[in-house]
């Protein structure tokens, strides 16, 4: 691939794979880029399967960091980050790497940014500028994203609110490009694409006309009793609404999965399939009536389908969803979760069998589905190989 510039893309977790896959594909379409995906082993097989949903595979892969077993940071954060930094340091020091892309706020993203910085390679931060305002919540992601900002040469902000956060941190305006969020590109493509892998536990659900609610839980600050409260709230809702189907897409971490599922086993209208392949998950979201989650990425993905969402956290860096009225912060109090769900179910037509989601009447606050194209163009601009793309305009990201 003579004449192409090698760009390393660090992928550690499933959300990173989802949000970076559209960027990799856009880089592949350029005349100047040679994208190389490097997986860290943080989410192991799940990442490989997610990349496969988009027709991608890693060029190189690190062994799972010690203490994680290839799952989501099961070991202490310090051990995880140290192991990732050590592994990435040798991989990213190659002289032909012209830039390193990291996404979001994971330990893999932080280690990738640090390793690139130490190797004097420009760092491009996809989904830059999210802030909760509390350095300890979400933990450790809020601190990660602030540190990554200090190391980055190009900040690809998903919204204008994220741009304002970066400016407040002292980032130069000419180092920020507002792109929209690449997850919108990803979730729409996955929901419309071919089925890559069947999920036996979900067989028949896509043809079932019953109203569907998707539930997930994984945030570190919710581990233990808070996640158990979420499980008990979903159990109460399943008893109260026997004609509604609840799909609990549990995390790959066994302790997290056990905590939410212990109150739900044996409920006839509750499905517990464990982790779901991304394309199947995107299709579930596209036909759901409500999501209950503490996930940051799902707060964005649901907006692509006009899907209301109850956020089981005390704060969120995805304030655009709150402002638009799509998302509601409910914390992990059982009574609050049940009451908020009851309010959503009471809306006219929501529980009508066979009735698809109605499009949310306002613009998607997270983008227009062309974010990956802007991200790729911005990388070319950083390297002096393409013009700077214009910021996304309109109210969808304000």
DSSP states along 312-359: -SS--S-HHHHHHTSEEE-TT-HHHHHHHHHHHHTSTTTT-TTPPPPP
Set 14, 25, 218, 287: catalytic member: 218
Domain ranges of the chain: 5-181+367-397, 201-345
Set 141, 301, 317, 320: catalytic member: 141
Q: Which residues pair with 247 in a beta bridge?
A: 214, 271
Read off the pLDDT of each residue in 94-107 and give the average, rounded to a whole number.
Answer: 94
Q: State the Cα torsion 75-15-390-388 to the nearest 10°.
A: 60
Check if 5-181+367-397 and 201-345 are the same fold.
yes
Q: What is the pLDDT of residues 280-293, one digit of tens each?
A: 999 999 989 999 99
Set 220, 328, 362, 370: catalytic member: 220
pLDDT for residue 360: 46
Whether 220 is catalytic: yes
Confidence tier at 74 by pLDDT (50, 70, 90): very low
Q: Is the pLDDT of residue 233 over 50?
A: yes
Triad 156, 158, 160: Cα angle to 5°: 100
CA distance 166 to 164: 5
pLDDT for residue 75: 56
Confidence tier at 218 by pLDDT (50, 70, 90): confident
Whether 127 is catalytic: yes
CA distance readout (Å), 22 to 83, 151, 186, 207, 298: 27, 24, 6, 29, 17
Whether 251 is catalytic: yes
Nearest partner of 298 among 272, 327, 324, 273, judged by Cα:
327
Instruction: Please report, rounded to a whole number, the percentage of residues in the chain having pLDDT higher than 70.
Output: 91
Set 16, 26, 34, 105: catalytic member: 105
Hey, which CATH number is domain 201-345, 3.50.50.60, 3.20.20.70, 3.40.50.2000, 3.40.710.10?
A: 3.40.50.2000
Whether 141 is catalytic: yes
Read off the pLDDT of each residue in 238-258 and give the average, rounded to a whole number.
Answer: 86
Q: Is the pLDDT of residue 30 over 60?
A: yes
Set 25, 155, 163, 251: catalytic member: 251
Specify the fold of 5-181+367-397.
Answer: Rossmann fold (3.40.50)
Whether 218 is catalytic: yes
More confident of the two residues 163 and 254: 163
Cα four-point dihedral sign 305, 327, 46, 284: negative
Q: What is the pLDDT of residues 316-369, one digit of tens each?
A: 888 889 998 899 999 999 999 999 999 999 987 788 765 555 444 457 889 999
Cα four-point dihedral sign 141, 145, 148, 153: positive
* Helix pair 182-192, 14-29: axis angle to 10 deg: 90
Set 16, 26, 34, 127: catalytic member: 127
Please enumerate, as own/partner, the contacts of 386-390 that have beta carbons within 8 Å and a separation of 24 or more. Answer: 386/30, 386/32, 388/177, 389/177, 389/179
CB-based contact 11:20 (threshold 8 Å): yes
């Amino acid at each position: 691939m003579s004449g192409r510039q090698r760009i390393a893309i660090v992928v550690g977790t499933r959300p990173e794979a989802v949000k970076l896959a559209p960027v990799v594909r856009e880089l592949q379409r350029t005349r100047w880029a040679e994208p190389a995906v490097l997986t860290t082993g943080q989410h192991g097989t799940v990442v490989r399967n997610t990349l496969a949903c988009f027709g991608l595979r890693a060029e190189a892969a690190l062994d799972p960091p010690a203490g994680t077993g290839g799952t989501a940071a099961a070991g202490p954060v310090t051990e995880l980050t140290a192991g990732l930094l050590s592994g990435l340091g040798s991989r990213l020091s190659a002289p032909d790497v012209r830039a390193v892309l990291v996404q979001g706020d994971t330990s893999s993203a932080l280690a990738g940014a640090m390793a690139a910085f130490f190797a004097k390679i420009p760092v491009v931060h996809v989904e830059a500028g999210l802030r909760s305002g509390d350095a300890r919540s979400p933990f450790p992601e809020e601190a990660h994203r602030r540190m990554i900002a200090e190391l980055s040469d190009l900040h690809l902000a998903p919204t204008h609110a994220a741009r304002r956060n970066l400016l407040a941190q002292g980032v130069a305006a000419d180092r920020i490009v507002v792109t929209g969020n690449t997850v919108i590109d990803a979730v729409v493509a996955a929901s419309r694409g071919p089925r890559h892998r069947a999920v036996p536990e979900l067989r028949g659900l896509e043809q079932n006309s019953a109203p569907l609610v998707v539930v997930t839980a994984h945030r570190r600050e919710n581990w233990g009793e808070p996640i158990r409260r979420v499980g008990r709230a979903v159990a109460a809702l399943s008893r109260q609404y026997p004609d509604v189907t609840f799909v609990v897409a549990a995390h790959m971490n066994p302790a997290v999965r056990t905590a939410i599922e212990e109150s739900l086993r044996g409920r006839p209208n509750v499905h517990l399939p464990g982790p779901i392949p991304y394309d199947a998950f995107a299709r579930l979201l596209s036909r759901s009536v409500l999501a209950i989650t503490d996930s940051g990425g799902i707060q964005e993905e649901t907006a692509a389908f006009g899907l209301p969402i109850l956020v089981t956290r005390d704060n969120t860096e995805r304030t655009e969803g709150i402002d638009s009225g799509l998302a509601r912060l409910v914390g992990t109090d059982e009574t609050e979760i049940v009451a908020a769900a009851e309010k959503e179910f009471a809306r006219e037509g929501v529980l009508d069998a066979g009735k698809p989601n109605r499009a949310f009447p306002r613009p998607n606050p997270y983008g227009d589905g062309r974010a990956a194209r802007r991200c790729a163009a911005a990388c070319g601009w950083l390297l002096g190989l393409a013009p700077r793309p214009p910021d996304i305009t309109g109210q969808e990201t304000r």
